[in-house]
Structure 1
């Protein structure tokens, strides 16, 4: 039987060492090359490993849900990262935005909700769902996923900041229809999939709590 430890998460942030960081590209985003070593599961140190990492910065995702009407607010916009696929590069997503300097994630959510969807959201409307790494094999980005209880009456239109190249069409979609779009692959970006799957697991609790309060 192998003597290798089977404990989960047996190593922490003290078990690696970054030898150097070299900037390969710096623009709106950056790419850095890391040279590092880390502890192997056999207890030995690895050899020197070099990895190019996309330094994108953290972002906030906001799931706007109306528990009274049982609808979800989506953004539809063009995404250059989907250009080379067989499907349309106009994707259904949730409100999202990157952090400004020293900005709180809730403040990011409130700002982006207004800019992208013309939603006026208060801090007490927002709740934290989870944080997760978007693709840790190649980027440092962590996504901060929040939900917001909204009143969807009159919501819709085209918004976004032209100076940031944003052209965002806002849709209000029945939750069951949104789940059907998810199941048929029409919703195909990770943040929206994760948020909708969370909603599927928690919708009864949200409706019991917030539909009663409004």
Structure 2
């Protein structure tokens, strides 16, 4: 009996080897087999499939996919003061891959955990920054690393000010989060993108959106 397939894994999941077997949207792709490699917390699979190339011939291909669920992120901004509210936290994958100390400046973000994206990002904003935001604007939804990671990330923006702050933020201590809230002048934040001091993709994307089409765009 295999956890995650025949019996529940540590998160109570079964049938994790069935993902993708019923896909019919692309007639040039025929899934042969799905093998579960790991379901310790997120899910790693190897899928074998037949693929029809543009010239008509078929080949057998294999891909690993990492399924961590879908997520949401939000840029909190104060257009009157020209500031944005970010977080700083330790990211081991960045640290082990060359970031000097692993401490990344980021927009508030988190996984959906079966919530609707807007509800999830309101929760994450409150937990991480201490601000309870009102209306949020959906900016776009994208695949962040489609070569190997299944995640779709929903991007939002929302105004903040002194009145929206209801707590200290910092994340959920019981989940091991240790998050610093960082307020930056918007133009300084863009400078940090240029220098590479802001190196998180979702944050760069939202800051550039804010400059081009969002609250700090030149009208």
Pairing of 1:19-168 with structure 2 (within 5 A):
19-45=32-58, 47-84=59-96, 85-101=98-114, 103-122=115-134, 125-152=135-162, 159-168=170-179
Match among 6, 13, 16 for residue 29 of structure 2: 16
> How many angstroms apart in 2 are the aligned matches of 1:157 and 1:181?
25
| Structure 1 residue 189 corresponds to structure 2 residue 200 | yes
Structure 2 counterpart of 1:5:
none
Output the TM-score relative to the length of structure 2.
Answer: 0.81
Shift of the 105–86 alpha-carbon distance from structure 1 to 2, 3 Å rule, reads closer
1:159 is paired with a residue whose SS is: coil
Q: Assess if the C-alpha contact under 8 Å between 2:91 and 2:102 holds in 1.
A: yes
Structure 1, unpaired ranges of 5+: 1-11, 209-214
Output the TM-score relative to the length of structure 1.
Answer: 0.83
Structure 2 counterpart of 1:199:
210
Shift of the 96–204 alpha-carbon distance from structure 1 to 2, 3 Å rule, reads closer
What do you get for the CA RMSD once the two structures are aligned?
2.1
* Cα deviation digits, residues 77-116 of structure 1 (max 9, x gap): 0111122215221110000010122x11000010001111
Structure 2, unpaired ranges of 5+: 1-24
Structure 1 counterpart of 2:182:
171
Moved over 4 A (4+): 152-158, 204-208
Shift of the 133–44 alpha-carbon distance from structure 1 to 2, 3 Å rule, reads same
Shift of the 64–14 alpha-carbon distance from structure 1 to 2, 3 Å rule, reads farther
Higher relative contact order at CA 8 Å, sep ≥6: structure 1 or structure 2?
A: 1
Moved more, 33-42 or 153-162: 153-162
> How many angstroms apart in 2 are the aligned matches of 1:207 and 1:73?
21
* Cα deviation digits, residues 59-84 of structure 1 (max 9, x gap): 10111111111110000001111222
